[in-house]
Amino acid sequence: MSRTFRLSNGDEIPALGLGTWKSEPGEVGAALREAIGAGYRHIDCAAIYMNEREVGQAIAGAIAEGDVRREDLWITSKLWNCNHLAADVRPGLEQTLADLGLDYLDLYLIHWPVAFKPGVTFPRQPEEYLSPDEAPIAQTWSEMEKAVDDGLCRNIGLSNFSEAKCRAVVDGARIAPTVNQVELHPILAQPDLLASCADMGIHLTAHSPLGSGDRPDVMKRSDEPQPMEHRVVHAIADRNQASPAQVLIAWAIQRGTSVIPKSVNPERIRQNMAASEITLSDIDMAEINALDRAERIMLADFFCPPGSPYTVEWMWA
Ligand code: A2P
C-alpha cells in the first residue's frame, strides 16, 4: 500500500497521483495502465483535459483484467468554469462520471474560482465571462454538497483557490472542502497557504510539481520558474542518487502535500512512483525550502484579458 494522507473527514488520499493534464487522447490510456501496473492508485482528471473518456476506458480495462479494484483507486475530477451556475453543476459532474465510466468520484474539485457563461469552453470575448456576483461560488458549492449527499462524490474541494477564497467557502459550507489543489513546487512553495489551509482542515495537492514544461507555448513566459532545472535540485538529486524530478516529488510528499506529476512515458511513470520511497535529509529539505521565490508558473492571466471581470491580483488575493 503506497503512502496516504488522512483528510479532515477521515478519508485517505494517496500521496502520489498520476496527472493527466496535457496527456493526449491516444496516449493517456496507455499511461494510465502503466501507472496502475507501477502501483499508482490516485488519478487526477478534469473535464477540460478532454481525455476523460479514454481515462475511463483504461480504468475499466484495468479493473476487468484484475489489475486493481475500484475501491482501491482514488479518482479526482474537476468542474469546469462554464458549469458554475447552480443548474449546471450536476450535469457537469454527470458528464464526467459518464466519460470516466464511474458511479462516484473520490474527489470533485471546483477547477478555478472563475466562471464562464454556460457552454463557453474558453471565452473569446469579455462578455463570455460571468463575474463573481453573477455566479457566486457559494451557490456552486451548495450544488457540490448536494452531489455528496447523493453519493456522486465522496469528497469535494477547490483548486487554484487563495487562502481568502478558501476561507469564504469554509465559512459558508455545510460540507467542508477537504482538498485545495494548487501550483506547488520549490519556487512557489506557498508555506503560508499550506499552514492556513491546514488550520482550515484543508489538505493541499501540488499541481505542476515538475514545472509543467509541456504546456502550450502560448501559456509560457521566458522568465517562468523551472524547478526541474534548478542547480540546487540537481545537486540534491546527485547526493541521493535520484533524478531532479524525483527530488521534487519526494520534497512535496515529505512536506505533507499529495503530488500529481504528469507523465506519459513508461520509464518516467515508474521513476516518479519510486520517488515516493525516497527520504530527503533535513538539510536537503532546508536547502529546497530556501528556493522559494513566490513565483508562479500559472498566473491565470489567460482569464484576465481587458474587459474580463477577473484580474491576476483578484485571483491570488
Ligand atoms: P513526459 O510526459 O514525456 O514524461 P508537470 O507534472 O509539472 O505538469 O510536468 C509534466 C512534464 O514533466 C511533462 O513534460 C513530462 O513529460 C515531464 N516529466 C514527467 N516525469 C518526468 C521525469 N521523471 N523526468 C523528467 N521529466 C518528467
Q: What is the pLDDT of residues 278-317, one digit of tens each?
A: 999 999 999 999 999 999 999 999 999 999 999 999 999 9
**Mean pLDDT of the region 255-279:** 98
> Which residue spans within the chain are E strands per DSSP?
4-6, 12-14, 18-19, 42-44, 74-79, 107-110, 115-116, 129-130, 156-159, 179-183, 203-207, 258-259
Q: Is the CB of 19 under 6 A from ligand 1?
A: yes
Q: What's the 209 CA to ligand 1 centre distance in angstroms?
A: 9
**Which pLDDT value is given to residue 2?**
79
Q: Is the pLDDT of residue 3 over 90?
A: yes
Q: Which of 205-209, 221-225, 233-237 is the least confident region?
A: 221-225
Three-state DSSP class for 266? Answer: helix
Q: Which of 43, 262, 298 to mutate to test the pocket of ligand 1 (most atoms within 8 A of CB)?
A: 262
Cell of 86: 447552480
**Which pLDDT value is given to residue 100?**
98
Start-end of H helices in 215-311: 231-239, 244-254, 266-275, 282-289
Nearest CA to ligand 1 atom 15: 263
The mean pLDDT value of the chain amounts to: 97
Q: What's the 202 CA to ligand 1 centre distance in angstroms?
A: 27
Q: How many CB atoms lie within 10 A of CB 145?
A: 15
Three-state DSSP class for 185? Answer: strand
The predicted-structure confidence for 79-134, as pLDDT tens digits, reads as follows 999 999 999 999 999 999 999 999 999 999 999 999 999 999 999 999 999 999 99
223 or 70, greater pLDDT:
70
Three-state DSSP class for 223? Answer: coil
**Which pLDDT value is given to residue 273?**
98
Q: Is the pLDDT of residue 1 over 70?
A: no
Q: Is the CB of 212 under 6 A from ligand 1?
A: yes
Using a 10 angstrom Cβ sphere, with 0-12 exposed, 13-18 middle and 19 or more buried, the burial of residue 283 is exposed
Measured from the Cα of 275, ligand 1's closest atom is 23
What letter does residue 45 receive in the DSSP assignment? -
Question: Which amino acid type is present at position 86?
Answer: A
Nearest CA to ligand 1 atom 16: 263
Whole-number Cα distances in Å, 114 to 165, 168, 309, 311:
11, 15, 9, 10
**Which pLDDT value is given to residue 243?**
98
Three-state DSSP class for 159? Answer: strand
Residue for grid cell 475530477:
77
Phi-psi region of 50 (alpha: psi -120 to 50; beta: other; left: phi over 0): left
Q: Is the pLDDT of residue 13 over 70?
A: yes
Q: Is the CB of 136 under 6 A from ligand 1?
A: no
H-run or E-run covering 94: helix 86-100
Q: Model pTM greater than 0.95?
A: yes
Q: How many CB atoms lie within 10 A of CB 221?
A: 10
**Which pLDDT value is given to residue 93?**
98
**Which pLDDT value is given to residue 265?**
98
Q: Which of 20, 21, 27, 214 to mutate to test the pocket of ligand 1 (most atoms within 8 A of CB)?
A: 214
The predicted-structure confidence for 227-260, as pLDDT tens digits, reads as follows 999 999 999 999 999 999 999 999 999 999 999 9
Nearest CA to ligand 1 atom 14: 214
Contact 10, 41 (CB under 8 A): no
Of 204, 217, 220, the closest CA to residue 260 belongs to: 204
Catalytic residue among 40, 49, 108, 310: 49
Of 14, 66, 12, 68, the closest CA to residue 36 belongs to: 68
Q: In DSSP terms, which residues pair with 203 in a beta bridge?
A: 179
Measured from the Cα of 31, ligand 1's closest atom is 2
Angle between helices 28-38 and 52-64 (to 10 degrees): 40
Q: Which of 210, 234, 247, 270 to mutate to test the pocket of ligand 1 (most atoms within 8 A of CB)?
A: 210
Q: What's the 69 CA to ligand 1 centre distance in angstroms?
A: 27
Nearest CA to ligand 1 atom 4: 263
Q: Which CATH architecture has domain 4-213+223-306?
A: Alpha-Beta Barrel (3.20)
Domain ranges across the chain: 4-213+223-306
Q: What's the 219 CA to ligand 1 centre distance in angstroms?
A: 17
**Mean pLDDT of the region 66-91:** 98
Start-end of H helices in 136-219: 137-149, 163-172, 191-199
Q: Is the CB of 20 under 6 A from ligand 1?
A: no
Nearest CA to ligand 1 atom 21: 268
Query: Is 104 labeled as catalytic in the residue annotation?
Result: no
Residue 233: CB partners within 8 Å, gap ≥ 6? 186, 227, 244, 247, 248, 288, 291
